[in-house]
């Protein structure tokens, strides 16, 4: 709060004060009051106005400077009321009370939407679990019919099952801390479980998986990691090259501060212009529009889960040649003692 701004804001007050002072001088002169007394009254009036303005300015300056500085430092601006002390002047108290009421109203509204969001997430989780039962039954029925039509039904049911998994993991990614359990997890076992879950789809597209250096354990949640590997495998099969047999390679690499899990395929690759955005929500890119119908949600969910688990994830690719995803598992003190 600058003094010039304060003076400018109170310009009308000074105009009124000047007019009043002129009228006082006019009356004092009309009644032939001694000039020395007029000067004394004028001096007292000027001293009073200057002291009152300086006192008012510095009292308000402290509150408003604190308000603006705290507001600039806060990431969550709506918490500003919690950072302030109630001021000792009327305008400040009115502003402070207004902030308190606004904050209270905001908290009530946030709680309403938070409850609705939690109820919707719980409904989605229950719905996914319920819908998986008929999907599993239909998969069994289609599997018992080994003809070509049965295989087509089975493939579509696998896709439905995969999409319901995406819905479930997306819903849980908002509150992943309530669901995951970080513990020592074998990469070899987790990769094998993911491959087993996608075995029939891998066989149908004529692909195979190469494994190297997976005899190592990391600190993660095996269920979440299995889902992420499943998303990589599904993308590899979706964007396989028609010119060569699909090969998915999974390997690990240990550095001083982390363990890196590499998932590489020899598919159609990703255009360089799409690489910075492939983890964005609903981003499908050139491949999603040209080669297969895509929701753009799979890699977005993978990115969110990695953030929740405090894993790093990166991708590199060459269009027409390969795509490689890398998940980094930090080493903590517990891991170093193993």
- Does any domain span residue 71? yes
What does the alpha-carbon distance between residue 277 and residue 9 come to, in Å, rounded to a whole number? 49
Q: Phi/psi at 95 (nearest 5 deg)?
A: -65, -40
Closest alpha carbon to 327 in 177, 192, 181, 226: 226
What does the alpha-carbon distance between residue 148 and residue 15 come to, in Å, rounded to a whole number? 94
**pLDDT number for residue 294:** 67
CATH code of the domain in which 313 resides: 3.30.565.10
Residues 73 and 192 in one domain: no
What does the alpha-carbon distance between residue 337 and residue 335 come to, in Å, rounded to a whole number? 5
Residues 92 and 203 in one domain: no
Does residue 187 carry a pLDDT above 80? yes
Closest alpha carbon to 299 in 238, 244, 242: 238
For residue 273, give both structure tokens: 């212009």
Closest alpha carbon to 306 in 229, 233, 242: 229
Which of 75, 91, 106 lies at the terminal end of a domain, its last residue? 106
**pLDDT number for residue 214:** 92
Residues 218 and 73 in one domain: no
Characterize the bridge pairing of strands 217-220 and 183-186.
antiparallel
- Does any domain span residue 136? no
- Does any domain span residue 280? yes
For residue 302, give both structure tokens: 């993978």
Which of 89, 106, 123 lies at the terminal end of a domain, its last residue? 106
- Does any domain span residue 219? yes
What does the alpha-carbon distance between residue 235 and residue 262 come to, in Å, rounded to a whole number? 15
Distance from chain centroid for Cα 131: 29
Instruction: Answer whether 154's CB lies under 8 Å from 139's CB.
Output: yes
Does residue 77 carry a pLDDT above 70? yes
Residues 222 and 331 in one domain: yes
Higher pLDDT, 113 or 5: 113
Partners of 261 in beta bridges: 252, 327
- Does any domain span residue 162? no
Higher pLDDT, 11 or 224: 224
Q: What is the pLDDT of residues 35-76, one digit of tens each?
A: 788 788 788 888 888 888 888 788 788 777 877 777 777 777
Residues 78 and 200 in one domain: no
Residues 200 and 93 in one domain: no
Going by pLDDT thresholds of 50, 70 and 90, the confidence category of residue 337 is: very low
Q: What is the pLDDT of residues 220-270, one digit of tens each?
A: 988 889 989 998 998 898 888 888 899 999 999 998 889 999 999 999 999
- Does any domain span residue 144? no
Q: What is the pLDDT of residues 260-302, one digit of tens each?
A: 999 999 999 998 888 888 898 877 777 666 655 666 788 888 8
Closest alpha carbon to 158 in 233, 226, 266: 233
Residue 15 sits in which domain range? 3-106
Residues 198 and 332 in one domain: yes
Distance from chain centroid for Cα 122: 20
Residues 190 and 330 in one domain: yes
- Does any domain span residue 23? yes
What does the alpha-carbon distance between residue 91 and residue 113 come to, in Å, rounded to a whole number? 33
Distances from the Cα of 99 to the Cα of 60, 85, 90, angstroms: 17, 12, 14
Residues 214 and 303 in one domain: yes
What does the alpha-carbon distance between residue 92 and residue 94 come to, in Å, rounded to a whole number? 5
**pLDDT number for residue 177:** 55
Residues 197 and 307 in one domain: yes
Residues 196 and 278 in one domain: yes
Domain total of the chain:
2
- Does any domain span residue 158? no
Partners of 153 in beta bridges: none
Residues 91 and 197 in one domain: no
Q: Is 250 left (phi over 0), alpha (psi -120 to 50) or beta?
A: beta
Which of 70, 91, 106 lies at the terminal end of a domain, its last residue? 106
Instruction: Answer whether 267's CB lies under 8 Å from 322's CB.
Output: yes
Q: Provide the 10 A C-beta neighbour count for residue 195.
A: 19
Hey, which of 48-57, 77-86, 104-113, 208-217 has the most confident mean pLDDT? Answer: 208-217
Q: DSSP character for 272?
A: T
């Amino acid at each position: 709060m600058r003094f010039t701004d304060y003076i400018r804001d109170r310009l009308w007050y000074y105009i009124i004060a000047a007019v009043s002072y002129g009228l006082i001088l006019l009356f004092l002169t009309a009644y032939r009051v001694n000039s020395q007394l007029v000067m004394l009254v004028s001096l007292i009036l000027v001293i009073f106005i200057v002291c009152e303005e300086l006192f008012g300015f510095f009292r308000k300056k402290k509150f408003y400077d604190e308000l603006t500085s705290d507001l600039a430092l806060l990431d969550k601006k709506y918490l500003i009321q919690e950072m302030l002390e109630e001021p000792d002047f009327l305008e400040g108290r009115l502003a402070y009370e207004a902030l308190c009421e606004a904050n209270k109203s905001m908290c009530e509204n946030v709680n309403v939407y938070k409850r609705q969001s939690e109820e919707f997430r719980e409904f989605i989780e229950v719905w996914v679990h319920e819908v998986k039962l008929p999907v599993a039954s239909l998969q069994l029925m289609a599997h018992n019919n080994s003809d070509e039509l049965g295989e087509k039904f089975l493939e579509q049911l696998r896709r439905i099952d995969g999409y319901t998994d995406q819905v479930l993991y997306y819903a849980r990614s908002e509150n992943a801390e309530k669901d995951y359990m970080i513990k020592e997890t074998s990469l070899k076992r987790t990769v094998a479980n993911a491959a087993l879950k996608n075995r029939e789809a891998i066989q149908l597209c004529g692909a195979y998986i190469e494994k190297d250096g997976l005899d190592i354990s990391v600190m993660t949640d095996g269920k979440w990691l299995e889902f992420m590997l499943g998303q990589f495998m599904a993308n590899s099969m979706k964007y396989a090259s028609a010119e060569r047999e699909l090969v998915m390679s999974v390997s690990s690499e240990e550095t001083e501060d982390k363990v890196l899990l590499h998932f590489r395929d020899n598919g159609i690759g990703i255009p360089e212009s799409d690489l910075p955005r492939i983890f964005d929500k609903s981003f499908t890119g050139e491949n999603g529009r040209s080669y297969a119908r895509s929701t753009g949600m799979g890699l977005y969910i993978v990115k969110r889960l990695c953030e929740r688990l405090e894993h790093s994830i990166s991708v590199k690719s060459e269009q027409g040649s390969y795509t490689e995803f890398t998940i980094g598992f930090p080493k903590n003190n517990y891991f170093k003692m193993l």
